[in-house]
Chain A
Amino acid sequence: MTLDPSLRDEILAAVPQLRAFAISLTNNADRADDLIQDTLTRAIAKIDRFEPGTNLNAWLFTILRNLFHSEYRRRRREVEDADGSYAARLSAPPEQGSRLDFEDFRKALARIPIDQREALLLVGAQGLSYEEAAEICGVAVGTIKSRVNRARTRLAALLAVEYGEEFGPDPTTQAALQNTL
């Protein structure tokens, strides 16, 4: 299929963002690239389902997310980068000097449930609105807000184990967390 040049350029421009989302979601660069390949192949094959004037990025993210969940259901288990091979492949190491270790944050993110992780990535990292994230995930806006909040709470609790009061919850929150972790 031949893509309209302007549409082709828009898809090209979206690839780095799709890839960052896929890497952060899967925690595995090779798996993320396979997911991107499947996403782009499907998007090109089904380009007639894209309505010009609507949100191309949201459409591509929806395809990627649906493929990821389809694969996840097949595997029935979460594949993590347990040996840290992704972190080792990073082309440039993160800036040093931060109290929080980059690798610890990456591991903590990989430990939160996938539905919460994707919501947090779409809103907190990709910068989408709650409404856009809700449309991509096929859930209500309130559900996305709840998932983002739960993701942050879980991350804070996981990191508090390593970093103490910097991420440590106040006593009220701590009591509530007893029931969520």
Chain B
Amino acid sequence: MCDDEDEKTPCSRPQPPLRCGQMLAPEVKLDRSVQDRIGQELRKLYDEALREPVPDRLLALIDPKAARRSLH
């Protein structure tokens, strides 16, 4: 673990794996075709969000030049 652990800004160093602390209820296993269908719809929704232009105010936080470039 990192020293001075900050809840919202963790150290990027990999942490030791956690273990399940309790028994989980039996899982329901979906049919493969249903899983695939959900995966397709999920990626479609995600891709829509990915295609949206990133607002300049966000780019400017990292690189003001990048924000200006996106205007052209």
B14 touches A146 (CB 8 A): no
CB distance from A179 to the nearest CB of B (A): 9
Interface string of A152-168 (1 = CB under 8 A from B): 11011001000000110
Interface residues on B, range: 35 or more
Query: Measured between alpha carbons, how far is A134 from B7 in the docked complex, in Å?
Result: 16
B42 on the A face (CB < 8 A) = yes
A33 touches B15 (CB 8 A): no
A133 on the B face (CB < 8 A) = no
Residues of A within 8 A of B31 (CB): 169-170, 173
Q: Which residues of B contact A (CB under 8 A)?
A: 2, 6-15, 17-20, 24, 26-31, 34-35, 37-39, 41-55, 57-59, 61-63, 66
Q: Which residues of A contact B (CB under 8 A)?
A: 3, 8, 11-12, 15-17, 19-20, 23-24, 29, 33, 36-37, 40-44, 46, 49-51, 54-56, 58-59, 62-63, 66-67, 70, 90-92, 94-95, 100, 102, 105-106, 109, 120-121, 124-126, 131, 134-135, 138-143, 146, 149-150, 152-153, 155-156, 159, 166-167, 169-170, 173, 176-177, 180
